[in-house]
Amino acid sequence: MSIDTVISLTNAPPTSSLACHERGTWSRAPQNNDASLLCRKLRGLRAMVAVLECDSVARAARMLHLSQSAVARSISDIEAELGFPLFHRSGRGLIPNAAGQRLGVRATRALAELANGYREAFAATASQADGGARAASRFAAVVAPQQLTSFIAVAELGSGPLAATRLQCSQPTIQRNLDQLEDLIGIKLFRRTPRGTRLTDEAQALLGPVKRALAELAIAEDELAPFGGRQQGTVIVAALPLSSGFLLPKAIDSLLHKSPYLTVTVVDGTYEALVRQLRQADVDMIVGALRANDVPADIRQEALFEDHLSVVARADHPCLTMGREPTLAELAQYGWVSPLPCTPARGVFERVFRAEGLALPQTQVHASSSPVVRGLLLSSDRLALLSPVQITSELRTGELAVVPVALQHARRAIGLATRRDGLLSPAAEQLLDELRALAPTVQHPN
């Protein structure tokens, strides 16, 4: 399991602190028993979506097998909690206003994710039970919020007691919620092992859609805040090594200067771990080096600029005191810090040497952490292939230097990745705009 660094940034009063902590993964799911307002009102949202789909309270009531008064009361309860109306009342019935339309989009997407999760769970099993559209819709219509939050907590923590601590409830409550969820879906979701509670394949298939459903509701609350006279918003961005040093901080600074009420959380980790979190909507986007191959079909990549890598060494490295420019063949005789396998930087590393007809240099150290690579370069005669923008301060102070050797095929694309079927929050869209605006200004130091 990778260790990811998580940093929360907000343009808050001076007394607030910068939260930086490490964990195996980052989760957008509720971290306590205080589920979001809209998550608690999941049953009412089903009634609201039905009214929007049927364009009639009466038809929605028939579809849900409820009375018209029950449907209308469910919507009124949500409005009372939010503190503003979602519909215009008229002789023609309930007409959604702007807030109602906005919430309708998110609620529809959330319920669709829950139904999709049910179908995917059944697709992962050999069971012949009903995993069709009607059963999936029924699951989305009746599953309880506490069942979903308990499921996510145990899935992430691997332990009923730890889940109970997170959600601030008793372990029997967690167990009851899980038992009810398994009874409702009709599939075994957990395996008890000596090392803790583990998800079955069916539960793994269900987890992503459930987390995406709750993310839709969390984003909806941010989108609805202005209708209640408030401004709020959250964006969670995953940073691969290159982006975290220069492009992303500038974009965040610009974003918070324009929208000081926003909160930004930055998560870093391996590409594989971050893609998993992106697909589960735990993060909104990934910023960094783009993959040329093996990009999941549900992930969209957007290039922001082209970066070129250079050979870097400590300022008094022997290769810089030869009185002439060294050749790549000569540099290959030194020890190297090579990028991690299956990364864009590693692809560039291999292409550079093969373009000169050279075998890859012997490497004892493989690293993608910029601080670690810098430390290794400063304390030895090792060389590394880095982007000069990653070491701007070291180049400026003269600690490190770019070795003057011509390289072929030393370029890679830097950009961002988002979910292809995702609908970004306004805050995430704003950060995207900042990244796009800043990308053309990126300059490599001389």
- Digit-coded pLDDT (tens) for 9-54: 444 433 322 233 333 466 777 666 556 789 889 999 999 999 999 9
Q: pLDDT tens digits, residue range 91-102?
A: 788 999 999 999
> In the chain, how many domains are there?
3
Q: Are residues 422 and 276 in the same domain?
A: yes
Q: Are residues 379 and 431 in the same domain?
A: no
Question: Could you give the CA distance from residue 217 to residue 280 in angstroms, rounded to a whole number?
Answer: 14
Residue 122 has pLDDT above 80, yes or no: yes
Q: Are residues 108 and 203 in the same domain?
A: yes
Question: Could you give the CA distance from residue 156 to residue 176 in angstroms, rounded to a whole number?
Answer: 18
**Residue in the block written with tokens 């989108």:** 223
Longest dimension (CA), the chain: 89
Write the CATH number for 368. Answer: 3.40.190.10
Q: Is residue 297 part of a domain?
A: yes
Helix (H) and strand (E) counts for the chain?
17, 16
Q: Are residues 320 and 385 in the same domain?
A: yes
Q: pLDDT tens digits, residue range 389-434?
A: 888 889 999 999 999 999 999 998 999 999 999 999 999 999 999 9
Kind of pairing between the strands at 400-402 and 19-23: unpaired
Determine the structural domain holding residue 174 and report its residue range: 37-217
Both tokens of residue 442?
């990126």
Q: Flag the least confident range among 64-68, 178-182, 368-372.
A: 368-372
Say what percent of the chain tops pLDDT 70: 89
pLDDT of residue 90: 84
Q: From 159, 151, 88, select the one nearest 118 (Cα to Cα).
A: 151
Q: Are residues 260 and 374 in the same domain?
A: no
Both tokens of residue 55?
């364009």
Among 37-41, 121-125, 379-383, the range of highest mean pLDDT: 379-383
The SS3 of residue 281 is: coil
pLDDT of residue 268: 87
Q: Rounded to two decimals, what is the model's pTM?
A: 0.86
Helix (H) / strand (E) element for 6: namely: strand 4-10
**Cβ neighbours of residue 392 closer than 8 Å, sequence gap 6 or more:** 246, 445
Backbone angles phi, psi at 338, to 5 degrees: -95, 150
Question: Could you give the CA distance from residue 376 to residue 367 in angstroms, rounded to a whole number?
Answer: 10
Question: Could you give the CA distance from residue 16 to residue 18 in angstroms, rounded to a whole number?
Answer: 7
Question: Could you give the CA distance from residue 154 to residue 162 in angstroms, rounded to a whole number?
Answer: 8
